[in-house]
Amino acid sequence: MTRAFNFSAGPAALPEVVLRQAQEEMLEWHGAGASIVEMSHRGPEFMAVAAEAEADLRQLLDIPDDYAVLFLPGGATTQQALIPMNFASAGQRADYVLTGHWGKTAVKQATPYVSVNVAASSEAEAFRDLPDRAGWQLSPDAAYVHITANETIHGVEFRDIPDTGGVPLVADFSSSIASEPLDVRRYGVIYAGAQKNLGPVGIAVVIIRRDLLQRDGQPRADIFDYRSHAARDSMLNTPPTWNWYLAGLVFKWMLAEGGVVEFARRNAAKAALVYAAIDASGGFYRNEVAPSARSRMNIPFFLPSAELDARFVAEAKAAGLLALKGHKAVGGIRASLYNAMPVAGAEALVAFMADFQQRHG
């Protein structure tokens, strides 16, 4: 058994201590005679696990009581369709700010349900910067303004929360939730697939300011209605119980480690290490994102040739540094540095980068 440093963009590394607990409890949970994955979601055991996970997430992210917290199956993409269905009337305008691949996905999913206004986009600059807030063409009557807090593929992250006046700000936080303190009150809706910073794949977290649940939205099945999920504590139907349980273990781990303040410190340290290595390489390693927009979570970079990119990925894997291949949309290398990646992982990557450059530079 040798666990490597895993730089996967998601599904991503989980804390080893969490995996060990899940392993220990796999055949029997807390003397209950069965695994948690074998228990009714409506039984007292799982109900307690679910409630504790919600309470821990509320503590971790300082979520006010006037926000509902939902745990739903699947990932962020489903929410990108449910958000317009629930919060906009048919054909109403909604503003989207595009800073990478996932903002475009959000537009694609929303298009059947709203009149999408691309209020700003950095696509013409290949998503290497955030569009300046002063140039955003927001609609005063928009149902909401949608941003992607961190773009997992392009490595671009909002470092300031944009002011959208009275129009609710909806943010895809899939790849940066819980990576640093979050001012929930500045948002109408925060959503995230859990498989990056929150750990397990197969479940999404949706945080909704409760007054938005009063909106009629559009005709839709009950299973697509956030109000129904909120009214039933995300147990409208059988939820992904094991994934929810595993997320709860990750929340407890994050709280025990010092919460989002501590993870903000570690994440800043990890990112600073890797960007410094890139910037000090004399151009051997290149990250093309504007420094003020660089993501702390996902660092895409390039070597002088595609051949060297491929060799870097292969040699890194052999050295115990996994999943460093960049997304096929942009190529190159990508190092994802979520909460479960220790500072030692970033240090190992930086040491490998120096060694690789010495041998191939």
Residues that bind a copy of itself (CB under 8 A): 1-4, 6, 8-14, 16, 19-20, 22-23, 26-28, 32-35, 37-41, 43, 72-78, 80-81, 108-113, 193, 195, 200-203, 219-224, 236-243, 246, 320, 322-323
Specify whether 216 is catalytic: no
23 is in an annotated binding site: no
- Write down the catalytic residue from 196, 242, 244, 325: 196
The Cα–Cα gap between 306 and 302 comes to 8
- Minimum separation from the CB atom of position 26 to a copy of itself (A): 4
Of residues 131 and 334, the one with the C-beta less far from a copy of itself: 334
Chain centroid to CA 1: how far? 29
Of 16 and 66, CB closest to a copy of itself? 16
Q: Which tokens sit at 219? A: 């005709």
Is residue 36 within 8 Å of 46, Cβ to Cβ? yes
Is 29 designated active site?
Answer: no
Q: Which of 29, 56, 102, 104 is catalytic?
A: 102
- Closer CB to a copy of itself, 111 or 292, in the complex: 111
Q: For residue 358, what are the contacts with CB-CB under 8 A and spacing of at least 6?
A: none
- Do the Cβ atoms of 260 and 181 come closer than 8 Å? yes
Q: In the bound complex, what is the minimum distance in angstroms from residue 19's beta carbon to a copy of itself?
A: 5
Selection from 299, 314, 311, 300 nearest residue 361 by Cα: 311
Indicate the residue among 324 and 346 with the shorter CB distance to a copy of itself.
324
The sign of the dihedral angle between the CA atoms of 164, 170, 176, 179 is: positive
The enclosing H or E element of 204 equals strand 203-209
CB of 64 to a copy of itself, least distance (A): 28
**Token code pair at residue 327:** 């997304």
Asked whether residue 148 is marked as a ligand-binding residue, the answer is no
Kindly report the length of the chain: 361
Please enumerate, by residue number, every residue annotated as part of a binding site for pyridoxal 5'-phosphate. 76-77, 102, 152, 172, 195, 237-238
Residues designated as active site: 102, 172, 196
